[in-house]
Structure 1
Amino acid sequence: MGRLKKSKVDKSPFKLRQRQLADGRISLFIDHIHDGKHSYEFLKLYLQPETSEKIRRENNRTARLADDILKKRMEAYIEKEADKLSESSLTETPLSDFIDVLIAEKERKNHRTKQFVTVKGNLQMFRPDTRMCDIDKGYCIDYADWLKHTCISRLGKPLAPQTAFNYFWHLGIILSNALRMGYIRHNPWCRLDSGDKIREPERLHRFLTLDEVRILEETPCRHELVKRAFLFSCFCGLRISDVLNIRWSDICSNNGLTYASIIMKKTSRPISIPLTSKALHWLPEKNDDSPKIFGGLPSETQINKHLKKWVSEAGISGNIHYHVSRHTYGTMLMTAGVDLYTASKLMGHSDIRATQVYSQIIDKKKQEAVSLIDNVF
């Protein structure tokens, strides 16, 4: 039966519950506790008796949908509680305290928070004791200037352009959330001109060539499951967050093709990817003790450490981390002549401009190849 995730919100006023029906189905509903009284929201979502693998997959998707609704109810509750606070108390809130609130909210949604923790420390170095009411257009412009010309990294060097860009744009994300949650009444970020903002430096994504992929296939890795997971992603494009959570029940066959049907963790968008024979080849043997396909993988940090050792032993240079597998898949699609629209759907991009990056990489490689011919002659 599809499993309901246990809410990680301590003392949450919302609980996802279930009730057995006479026909064998299980009805899912939300129990809202307010002032000691219970009110119920019946979701019209049902878990079916699991008589087949198809029904099991449907139950898993239904359980995830119910959990998403629960999270939305909690988010609306948080916003409502924020609105109850007076405007003066909100604007006097220290910036660092609001970032703590934002981090806690993202942790409840199982989102990554490491970057926000880093930016919080960076903003405290810029101007300690900043309050929400102190942040205006001038503050944002001064912060951009400080990042570009004054801020020093832990190694005692000026910030790399990409790092300065990331820090600056995270301030924009923080302010957007502050407006949404009622901690500020106007977002000064919206008053910035394009010249006031730090622009993202142009960069080319690192990807593996087909020859490099073949070399890695032939090179042993000290952690076999890391090798399988990485090469699996090279041939299907799944992010590490999705690979860590993909289950055997997410793999299905239809009309002779095998698909991975998941809800992407980063975007919460459902996606169904046809798996090539290469991708299927690198799936591990099914373990009945674990519903997750790659359940034995270590943490993401440890995965990247194993990758670096493996890539180094294979004689491949460059900074290779797990996300390179997704870039490799994207460039494979472009090299094979897949159109942008189809490629964007296969990669789960909501904006086709994200897919165009891979097309630009291929175009640049073609230009370099032509230049090499010119140089020879």
Structure 2
Amino acid sequence: MGRLKKSKVEKSPFKLRQRQLADGRISLFIDHIHNGKHSYEFLKLYLLPETSEKIRRENNRTARLADDILRKRIEEYFEKEADRIGERDLAETPLSEFIDILIAEKKRKNNRTNQFVTVKGNLQLFHPDTRMCDIDKRYCIDYADWLRHTCVSRLGKPLAPQTTFNYFWHLGIILSNAYRMGYIRQNPWCLLDSSDKIREPERQHRFLTLDEVRILEDTPYHHELVKRAFLFSCFCGLRISDVLNIKWSDIYSNNGLTYVSIIMKKTSRPISIPLTAKALHWLPERNDDSPRIFRGLPSETQINKHLKKWVSEAGISGNIHYHVSRHTYGTMLMTAGVDLYTASKLMGHSDIRATQVYSQIIDKKKQEAVSLIDDVF
């Protein structure tokens, strides 16, 4: 099957660009592409060389202001596109085109869209050329059955239960938005019985116990930077996407504490985390030749291969990948008695329900411990 074409609605003709000036400043401007021609809107906003923490924070405010202007230009553009599309009966809109509109709306709000792009491709494989008016209760039930028994991954394997659940429930999100925006008069998702829907499987979050962390600390590994990065994340909870880009300028001291302050790549949310002595211990020696702290780390795929080998050498079983470090940090917080609200802020969660997972893990471990006592006696 050929590669799916992107809708014109999904594409924005506006891009935020940078230009280095002779005095060291970086000028921010918007590049507007129309009919193959470029026009430029210079914002009179400048990023200064980051010689102090105050300037770094000012640059962050300037960058956010430029992003706000860009989003406004994009929003105005897509409002015109929506008006153009609205000239015909909305119910006749192809499902793929509506998903493009939904993706564009989420991009304007800086929300993640990867899952919607994937689901769009799956829905086109399931029933090509589907219109909004074609979607009913039977369509939803058949889609659930197709995901369970027919749809396969890129490697040709059946979908994992969690993936099946995610794809199916994204159809529900799409239909809820279609009803909200007037593309359908009745939401067929509301007609489904609980038995018609795919249920979410119970998640198994692998994490390292304190003893396992100590074993890894004592186990040498030839790729020292991989070891340092992983243990650093165990004690601060940063994702690999953030660790790969973290800079020395992101670390600062205030009132005797050392913090790392970044904008998380996954959520685009700013976060400032106080670093423990353990986290600071696993930072590599500072190299003035590079602003990045963990410069030289391999790709995430290669890092996970290193982790499997290192963990095996340490005698620890289980599927250990880099994100296990974040789960480990979360369970450490719960074990230490940190309240849910504080833990959610330390981990950068926008929804406290994501943090509750770690509390549930600890509760389950307590129940297992009590059961062991009952078994002994």
Same fold (TM over 0.5): yes
Instruction: Compute the TM-score of the two structures, normalised by the length of structure 2.
Output: 0.79
Whichever residue aligns with residue 62 of structure 1, its letter is R
Cα distance change on mapping 1:199 and 1:257 into 2, 3 Å: same
Whichever residue aligns with residue 376 of structure 2, its letter is V
Cα distance change on mapping 1:374 and 1:114 into 2, 3 Å: same
Whichever residue aligns with residue 57 of structure 1, its letter is R
Contact 2:251 2:259 in 1 (8 A): yes
Cα distance change on mapping 1:311 and 1:193 into 2, 3 Å: same
Whichever residue aligns with residue 351 of structure 2, its letter is D
Partner deviation per Cα, 1:176-211 (whole Å, 9 max, x = no partner): 67779x794568366355714322112231110011
Matched residue pairs, number? 363
Cα distance change on mapping 1:138 and 1:18 into 2, 3 Å: same
1:357, CA displacement in angstroms? Answer: 1.0
Partner deviation per Cα, 1:288-347 (whole Å, 9 max, x = no partner): 333222232222222222222222222211111111111100000011111111111111
1:5 — aligned with what?
Answer: none
Cα distance change on mapping 1:313 and 1:194 into 2, 3 Å: farther
| Between 351-360 and 280-289, the greater mean CA deviation after superposition | 280-289
User: Quick one: distance in 1 between partners of 2:64 and 2:150?
Assistant: 44
2:247 — aligned with what?
Answer: 247
Partner deviation per Cα, 1:39-90 (whole Å, 9 max, x = no partner): 96858x664575x421342244134314532552354133532432245487
1:104, CA displacement in angstroms? Answer: 8.9
Contact 2:25 2:49 in 1 (8 A): yes
1:374 — aligned with what?
Answer: 374
1:146 — aligned with what?
Answer: 146
Contact 2:226 2:306 in 1 (8 A): yes
Structure 2 counterpart SS, 1:321:
coil
Contact 2:16 2:28 in 1 (8 A): no
Whichever residue aligns with residue 12 of structure 1, its letter is P
Cα distance change on mapping 1:72 and 1:175 into 2, 3 Å: farther
**Structure 2: 5+ residue runs without aligned partners?**
1-9
- Asked if residue 163 in structure 1 is aligned to residue 129 in structure 2, the reply is no
User: Quick one: distance in 1 between partners of 2:165 and 2:319?
Assistant: 20
1:375, CA displacement in angstroms? Answer: 0.5
- Asked if residue 291 in structure 1 is aligned to residue 291 in structure 2, the reply is yes
1:204 — aligned with what?
Answer: 204
1:58 — aligned with what?
Answer: 57
Instruction: Compute the TM-score of the two structures, normalised by the length of structure 1.
Output: 0.79
Contact 2:31 2:38 in 1 (8 A): no
Contact 2:140 2:189 in 1 (8 A): no
User: Quick one: distance in 1 between partners of 2:352 and 2:107?
Assistant: 29
Structure 2 counterpart SS, 1:359:
helix
Whichever residue aligns with residue 217 of structure 1, its letter is E
- Asked if residue 328 in structure 1 is aligned to residue 335 in structure 2, the reply is no
1:25, CA displacement in angstroms? Answer: 8.7
1:341 — aligned with what?
Answer: 341
Contact 1:253 1:259 in 2 (8 A): yes
Whichever residue aligns with residue 135 of structure 1, its letter is I
Q: How does 1:165-314 map to 2 (within 5 A)?
A: 165-175=165-175, 184=183, 188=187, 191=190, 193=192, 195=194, 196-314=196-314
User: Quick one: distance in 2 between partners of 1:186 and 1:67?
Assistant: 39
Whichever residue aligns with residue 366 of structure 1, its letter is K
| Between 139-148 and 341-350, the greater mean CA deviation after superposition | 139-148
Whichever residue aligns with residue 68 of structure 2, its letter is I
Structure 2 counterpart SS, 1:73:
helix
The percent identity for this pair of structures is 75
**Structure 1: 5+ residue runs without aligned partners?**
1-8
User: Quick one: distance in 1 between partners of 2:52 and 2:147?
Assistant: 54
Cα distance change on mapping 1:320 and 1:75 into 2, 3 Å: farther
Contact 2:250 2:262 in 1 (8 A): yes
User: Quick one: distance in 2 between partners of 1:78 and 1:228?
Assistant: 45
Contact 2:112 2:267 in 1 (8 A): no
1:37, CA displacement in angstroms? Answer: 10
Structure 1 counterpart SS, 2:370:
helix
2:123 — aligned with what?
Answer: 123
Cα distance change on mapping 1:11 and 1:79 into 2, 3 Å: closer
Cα distance change on mapping 1:32 and 1:349 into 2, 3 Å: same
